[in-house]
Amino acid sequence: MELLSKLRDEQRLALVLITHDLGVVAGSADRVAVMYAGRVVERAPVLDLFASPRHPYTTALLECLPRLDQRHDVVNSIGGTPPNPADLPAGCPFAPRCRRAVDACLTDEPTLVRLGVSDVACSVATAGVGAGESV
């Protein structure tokens, strides 16, 4: 990562990292796009995303990270399995695994909506945000 950062700075490049390693994200990214089932579900500046995740999938991902300041007998995981991206269910693709899901999540497909400095595709998290604020 250090080599990539050096090249980025020397060559004045933009660097796009695709990774499951949230430690790498935290240490190297300015902005983060979290994807689920092939779709961006949350976009935010990196510090805001880690401090205040808005999408339930982002929240669940961060809860799976082991922490040095806590004792862990079991590492958290997100229950269930991801859907087949070639055969996505109706509604929100995360609904079968989401702790915040409501009935409408099974039928209504969420779109990215501006929420503060974040863009979030969750109709529960963005409830009450005006339609004109969709991105």
Q: Nearest CA to 66 among 57, 58, 56, 76?
A: 76
Nearer to ligand SF4, 29 or 105 (CB): 105
Say whether residue 118 binds ligand SF4 (CB under 6 A). Answer: no
User: Does the footprint of ligand SF4 cover residue 61 (CB under 6 A)?
Assistant: no
Among positions 40, 101, 117, 129, the unique one binding ligand SF4 when judged by CB under 6 A: 101
From residue 20, how far is each of 9, 33, 35, 85 by CA, in Å?
Answer: 24, 12, 10, 18
Taking the complex as a whole, the smallest distance from the CB of residue 10 to ligand SF4 amounts, in Å, to 40
Q: Of the ranges 10-18, 59-67, 98-106, 111-119, which one interacts with ligand SF4 (CB under 6 A)? A: 98-106
Q: What residues form DSSP beta bridges with 120?
A: 42, 113
C-beta closer to ligand SF4: residue 22 or 54: 54
Instruction: By CB under 6 A, name the one of 95, 112, 113, 115 that touches ligand SF4.
Output: 95
Q: Tokens 């980025």 — which residue?
A: 8
Residues 6+ apart with CB under 8 A from 88: 37
